Every structure is written in C-alpha cells, then in structure tokens.
Chains A and B, each alone.
Chain A
Amino acid sequence: MSSLLNVTFPVLAHWMIVCLLSPFFLGVIARVKAFFSGKAGPPVLQPYFDLARLFRKKCVYSSTATWVFRAAPVIILAAMMALSLLVPFGICKAPVQFSGDILLAVYLLALGRFFMILAALDTGSSFEGMGASREAFFSCLSELALFMNFITLALLTRSISLARMIGADVPIVWGGMEPTLLLAVASLFIVLLAENRRIPVDDPETHLELTMIHEVMILDHSGVDLAYLLYASALKLFIFFGILVSIIVPVRTGYPVTDTAIFLGGMLGLAALVGIVESSMARLRLNRVRLLLLISFALAFFGLIVTLWRA
C-alpha cells in the first residue's frame, strides 16, 4: 500500500503544481503586452477567471460533428497532462524518467495535434479546415527542428532521457559547449513560439480572421470542451517554458528555496520575453512562417555541426 502511495504521490503532486501554475503565465504575457501598448490590461489571474467561467457553461455541438469532436478535448488535455510528467520543473523532478522518454514526449504532442486537426475537420467548416491544414504543415517543420535539437542535446549529455538532457547534465555542458547550447536555446525558442502558436506564427488574440491557425480550429468548441482546450494550451506553454528555462538557467545551488526562486524568476522572464516579442513584432505572412521554422532547424543543425566538430 505504501509503495503504491510512493508511486502515486509524486505524480499527483506534479500534476497539482503544473495545473495550478500553468494559466498564470498566460496572464503574465497578456500583462506585458498591455504594458507595452500603454494599457492597464487584465489582471494577471484573468486566465483562471476565464477557465472558471467556461467550466460553468454548457456545450453546444454541431450537427455535423461525430464522437471525434467530443473526444478530442479530453484526449488533448490528457495527452498534455501525461506529457507534463516527463518534464522536470525546477526542484520538482520528473516523476517519470526513462531512457528514450523524449520520443514519448514528441509523440504525445503529435497525438494531441492529430485529434485537434480531426476535431477541426469534423465540423465541416472551411475556416477550420484552413486552420487544420496550416497546423499540419507547420507542425511538420517544427517537429523536425525539435528532433534536431534533441539530437544535439543527446550528443552533449550522452543521454536520451529528457530529465537528464535538460536537467542534471546541463550545467556541465555550459562549461565547454556554450555556442552549441546558445544555438539550441535560440532554436528551441522559435519552436516554442511556433508550437504554442504565439505571435510571429499565429495571433492568439484575434478570433475571426483568415490568417490564424490554432484559434480558428477551436471555433466550434464551447463550454467545458473549450475550457479543456484552453487548459491544454496553457499546459503546453508551461511545459515548453519549463524545458527552455531548465536549459537557460542551469543554476543548482542545492537550497530548495533559492532554486525555486531562480526557476520561477526564469519562467517569469521568459514569459516577459514572449510578451515583448509579441508586442514588438507583427504576425509574419503565412509563406514566411515556414522560413522562420527552417531558420530554427538551421540553427539546431549548426549546433550539431559545432558539437561534432568539437567532439
């Protein structure tokens, strides 16, 4: 009994932290953007209020939709929660670690995306088909860049477990392989913006424009389903923030309080950075987005070359 508790407790604690904290950073980004446009902006806790409101609302379904449409939000949220177990956040170690868990991480992302696209196509709306097509295209490119970064990180840390690749072994790597890691960080930051559909790739603010990807795919979802989807995107953003901050800020003082403070500071800084990028840039034209993603791939590729050359 106690062994079962030993296994389940870290999982539940991890979920608790991830689920409680993740919407907060959406609020921070919105606040930073409001600051740069000279507005007061919504309270930082606004995403929580939105979610609470949506959880109280009923759903409406399209007459065209099948069970896939109803299953998708559940599957997507479950996939993101399962994925969060593989990622360490500061002093919270990843409850599930094994050799090769990066593959599971990438394929869980892909599973979520698969159902997101199917749900969009299920409504039979041309707008959502448009979003689905773009999502499928851009995710191919960003997944390629993600794999390239994982290859470089695996070579640097001699390990294929996410917990070691971005956690324990990174401080040693910063000692001698700075250029590679800098390239990887830059590349991963672009992947973060693309995967979470932030501004140079997609505009999370506007709700009905032909230029969008993610927002247009969830056009027909409502109530609890929409809440699940928004929660899933908050989790996804949080997971990517966690991965990137673990690489950028490899300080391990050994004092839990200091480490947590440093980690949270890093997360806030990254959220502010995303906010600044969003306020200072316009969304790229659609045919330019692929160039951005190819730049991300190229950065990671140079990282690999440097690694091989120095090794």
Chain B
Amino acid sequence: MDKILFGSWPVPFGEFSLKLDPLSLVFLIAVTILAVCAGAYGFGYMRPYQGKKPLGVHAFFYLLLALVLVLIVTANNVILFLSAWELMTISTFFLIIFNDEQPPVRKAGFIYLIASHCATFFLFLMFFLMSRAAGSMAFDVMARTTFPPLLAGTIFLLSLAGFGVKAGFFPVHVWLPHAHPASPSHISALLSGIAIKMGVYGICRVLCIMKVLPVWCGYVLLMIGVVSGIMGVLYALGQHELKKLLAYHSIENIGIITLGLGAGLLGMSYQAPFLAVLGFGGGLLHVLNHSLFKSLLFLGAGSVIQETHTGEMDHMGGLAKALPLTGVLFLVGALSICGLPLFNGFISEFIIYFGLFQGLLGLPVHGVIICALGILSLGLMGALASACFCKVYGTVFLGKPRAGSSHSPEGMPERPTAQEGVCREGTSKWMLVPMAALAAACVLIGLVPRTVTGLTFLGAACMAHVDLATIQTEQVLVPLTMVIRVAFLFLALICVLITVRRLLLGRASVPIRETWGCGFAGVSSRFQYTSSSFARLIVELMKTVLLFRRHGGQVTGAFPEKTRMDSSVHDASEEMAYRPGLDFLNDVSKKLGHGRIRHTQVYLMYILLFLIFLLVWKMK
C-alpha cells in the first residue's frame, strides 16, 4: 500500500522523499476538503475587509499553510517534516494575528508562537533519538528499526510532549482557547479542523514507527484521552463566548480521538489485533469526522458573528429567523458533534465504543478496568456535549433576541448592504455553499459509513502492523449496517408521523399566539434563560475543578436595591500552573539579570572563566 510519491529529491547533505500510505491518506483527505471549503468561505467572509487590510498577505499565508499541511502528512524525512512543521507554525501565526490592531489578538498570537516553539524543542530531541537509533533520517528506514523498550518509552513520552501541545491535550492546551476566538472564522475552522490534527498525525506516525511499545504507553494515552475529553467539555460548558466554547470542544474531541488511539495501543500491547484496528480505526475516523463538523460549526459561528457583531452568546437569540439556512447547517454540525445517530459523529464513536467493549470482554483485569473507564467517560462526554450544544443552539438560534450587543471581538467592519451573490438571509453564497458541502459530508458519512471505513481501517491496519485481510472488520461493519437500517426506519417513521399530524390537523390555518407567560403579562426577552444560567447546574457541581467565579447577584432586604451579577469560568491550568510558574521564572531571571551584575568587566570575566573551563575540559 505504501507508495513513494516523489523519491530521491536531492538536497545538500542528503535527499528527501515524499511517501503516501493509508495513514497519510486519511489526513490528506481532511486537509484537502478543509482547505478548499474554508478558503471558499474566507473569500466571502473577508469581503468586508477589502481595501482596508492587506488581504493578499493573508491569502499568501493561507496557501502556504495549505501547502505545508500537505508536506507534513506526506514527508518521509525528519528534516523535511520539521521544516514543514515550523512553516506551519509561522504561517498559522500570521493568519491568527489578522486583526493585529487589537491587543488580545496579538497576545493570542504570541501565546501560540511560544507554546509551539516550546513543543518543537521536544520534537527535536525526539527525532534526534530516533534517527540516532535508526541511523537514518528517513521515516521508512526508522520503521524497519527495532527500538529498545526504554528508548521507545522515552520517545513516546517526548512525542506526547511535543505533539500534544499542537493537538491541545489537557493541560498543555492553553494556547488553543486564546487563538481560536482571536482569528478570523475560516482560520479557526482550519486551525481546529486540521492544524491541531497534525499533532495527532505526529503521534500516529510515531506509533506507526515504533512497532513495540511498553504496555504502560497504552494506559497513558487512554488516560490522556479521558482527561482531555472530560475537562474539555466541562470547560466548554462554562464558556459564554461562542468561538471559545467551540475551541474547548476541540480539546474534547481530541480527547475522544486519543481515547481511540489509546484503546488501539492497548490492543497492540495485549496482542488483540481486532481491538487495535477498532481503536485506531475509530480514532482516525473521528479525525476525519471532527474536521468536517468542527469546521462547519466554526464557519457557522463566523456567519453568526458577522450578523451580530459579537461572540457573546448571552447577547444573542432568535437567529434561526434571521439566518434560517445557517441555522439548519449549524444544527447538523451540532447533532454530529454530539454523536447522535444519523450523523457522522455517531459512526466513529460507535467504532471506538465497540472496541472498548471488545477490550472489556477480552483483556486481563487491568485492561478491563481501563476500558470500563473509557466507556464511562465517553458516555459522560457524549451527555455533556449534548447539554452544551443544546445550550449553544438554544441560546444563539432559538428563543427571542436578547437585548444588547455592543462590541465585535474581531473588529468586523459593517457589512456593505445590497451586494451581488447574497442570498435571502443576507449571507454570501460563498459562505453558505462550503458550509452546505461540509454538512452534506457529515450526513453522507453518517448514513453510508462504508464510504470511509475502508480507508480508515486500512490506516489502522498500517498503524497496528497487521494485514487487514486477517481482521474481521465485518464484525463491526455489520452492526453499523443495522444501525443505518434503524436510522432509515426512523426517517420513515418521521415521514409517517408528519403525515398523520397533517391529516389530523386538516387544512385550517394554525393559530399563532404569544408564548404562554403563565399569566404574567410583562414578559421581556431578558427573562429567557441565558447560556450561563442553562449550564449553571452542571458548572456548579464541578466548580472545584473549573474555577467558577461568581460576583454579586445576592438579593437582600425587603426592598432590594438594583444589583448586578457576573459569573465566569477560568482555566485552572492557566491560572494555577502557568501563570504562577511564569511569574516565578520572571522573578528568577530578573534577580539573575539586574541586581547582581552591573559592570561589563564582570561579564568579560565570566566569559574568560568559561573559556578556561572549556580549555581544561577539552585538554583532559
């Protein structure tokens, strides 16, 4: 299956080559679909900026990013991979800081840049160890090498540290919730849809190269998946900024993917090839699915922000009337991300669940416990994600508009009215068509999963180093077919029930009245539940891990005075680990830098001493 696409590309001191195997192909498909869809959307989305901002530079970096993403997934050489990796970081940085006149955007860009470069340090270390052991920089030579267990374990941990930051594992995800809301929406879609998947790709590639890993690696990977998934969705529930919420959901979905990969790795360690293929296959399918529905949701969020000029969900409401088509497409994305039947999220989660249940019935006791934990947390993530998207869809698209929208997080200029290529709801066709394409892909995979399962299982077999013909993938594909049959039956039932209702109601027009206010006449749209109040019960239960803060709002006395209340959820890892840690480092470097050394002569003396030390060391 592996194919050298472009062999012997001579460069000074060696040669590069590009390689395409099923694993690369899964990611390559996602890159291609997203780059086209998000690009087309960007064409419509950036129109208001025409003449105000240098759009050419933006387009240049966009295309550069698309190119290096392709290079990353096809590179067969460490140097080529790392060069493309660095180019990805830099081009993404320039795409994120598009609205660089705003301080938060600049800050988000720098956090991203610093986090990425810290992570790349671990990658240098990892690839150094790998190439030293293999004696070559080429991935396919490395794949033929056997690594000693201790080295393999070290490389695995380094890969988690290096690629984990890009992928957004909890707790090294801090750049992610800053960067996504700061960048223009089609860039967030690309970032969340595919750029963070490059971290997953890196881990998959390392797993593919290391044929044998110690048993604990599978447990570690699965636990990372569980923690990222649950913390991601809990933080998402606490957000009231639309794109920040979606960013935290990316962390959740990376958790689901990692859970699948961890189950696959466990299957490899315990010589259960079926579990390995199911885990890896489910994980890879979720990579593809997540890039489809998450970019759909980010593009939908972009249209919402363009309409309302705010990302604050508690100021929105009733947008399904202003943006009917966007509303339907966003709902498709929301149903897919919750993993509900008929849509693609269910298919990949079903395969991962199925794998975990196989592990539950087949592995020794330790494996049984971790698989049970995996199943439970996947169930919890599903339930919390449903709650969260009920909140998003209910507050943004349904109900009545809540008063008050003042600022625009992206500095979006007013949209010029009456343009060509603008449809009924006022969204440009350039923006609607890519979203419709993504939604159609979600439904297609949801109803005909065999379009992609063949490819993802091939990729999984490639990672698990087994021949796919020996694995009975029909064992999971037949139940999936049954699921699809029930789904079609369900659709038929809906048609029947709608017909019945139409017959019962007759032709008379349906009366439209106000929502019943329970006898209270002065109902205002401010009475509606906001996103924060909807999520309050869950967030308060979890307030010990979420840093939930609430100010004011206490009503006292018989004639209470006017009061105000605000609540917010802060990122615990950022506030309790990174900030104090960085402050400490700042203090230390300040003490080392200033107070002590004032004179240039002292510096010169240090240099002299160091040179003498080096001389003595070398003379030995």
Given A111-B340, A114-B338, CB of A308 within 8 Å of CB of B515: no
Contact mask for chain B residues 467-502; partner A; CB cutoff 8 A; 1 contact, 0 none: 000000001101100110110011001100110110
A25-33, A128-136, A267-275 - the one binding chain B: A128-136
Q: Do residues B353 and A100 form an inter-chain contact, with CB atoms below 8 A?
A: yes
A interface: dominant SS: helix
The distance in angstroms between the C-alpha atoms of A28 and B380, with both chains bound, is 34
Min CB distance B488 to A, Å, is: 10
B371-408 CB mask vs A (1 if < 8 Å, else 0) is 01001100110111011011101110111100000000
Within 8 A of A (CB), among B333-383: 335, 338-341, 346, 349-350, 353-354, 357, 360-361, 365, 368-369, 372, 375-376, 379-380, 382-383
A137 CA / B394 CA spacing, docked (Å)? 15
Chain B residues near A208 (CB-CB < 8 A): 518
| Shortest beta-carbon distance from B210 to chain A in Å | 31
Binds A, one of B22-30, B294-302, B532-540: B532-540
Determine the distance from Cα of A158 to Cα of B389 in the docked complex, in whole angstroms.
35
> Which of B372, B386, B517 makes the CB contact (< 8 A) with A136?
B386
Assess the A108–B514 pair: CB atoms within 8 A: no
Measuring CB to CB, which residues of chain A are less than 8 angstroms from any residue of chain B? 11, 55-56, 58-66, 68, 74-75, 77-79, 81-82, 85-86, 96, 98-101, 103-104, 106-108, 110-111, 113-114, 117-118, 120-127, 129-130, 132-134, 136-137, 139-140, 143-144, 146-148, 151, 154-155, 158, 160, 208, 219-220, 223-225, 228, 290, 304, 308
| Option from A64, A68, A103, A134 in Cβ contact (under 8 Å) with B537 | A134
Task: Report chain B residues within 8 Å CB of A117.
Answer: 390, 394
Across-interface contacts of A228 in B (CB, < 8 A): 497, 501
Is the beta-carbon distance between B318 and A78 smaller than 8 angstroms? Answer: no
In the complex, the answer to whether A61 meets B512 with C-beta atoms within 8 Å is yes
Q: Which 10 A-B pairs have the closest CB atoms?
A: A129-B529, A121-B394, A124-B399, A136-B387, A147-B379, A137-B537, A78-B493, A98-B482, A140-B383, A62-B515
On chain B, the residues within 8 Å of A108 by CB distance are: 341, 490
Q: Are A82 and B529 in contact (CB under 8 A)?
A: no
- Our pick among A58, A118, A140, A148 for the contact of B384 (Cβ within 8 Å) is A140
Q: How far is the CB of B45 from chain A (nearest CB, A)?
A: 25
Q: How far is the CB of B500 from chain A (nearest CB, A)?
A: 8
Contacts A106-B379, A107-B346, A110-B386 given; indicate if A55 touches B504 (C-beta within 8 A): yes
In the bound complex, CA of A224 to CA of B350 (Å): 34
C-alpha spacing A276/B329, complex, angstroms: 47
Cross-chain contact of B479 among A100, A144, A219 (Cβ < 8 A): A100
**Given the complex, which residues of A lie within 8 Å of B350, measured CB to CB?**
100, 103-104
| A77 to B331 CA separation, bound complex (whole angstroms) | 20
Cα distance A75–B518 in the bound complex, in angstroms: 27
Our pick among A65, A66, A151, A225 for the contact of B375 (Cβ within 8 Å) is A151
B490 contacts A82, CB within 8 Å?
yes
B508: chain A residues within 8 A (beta carbon): 58
CB distance from A19 to the nearest CB of B (A): 12
Contact A308 B368 (CB under 8 A): yes
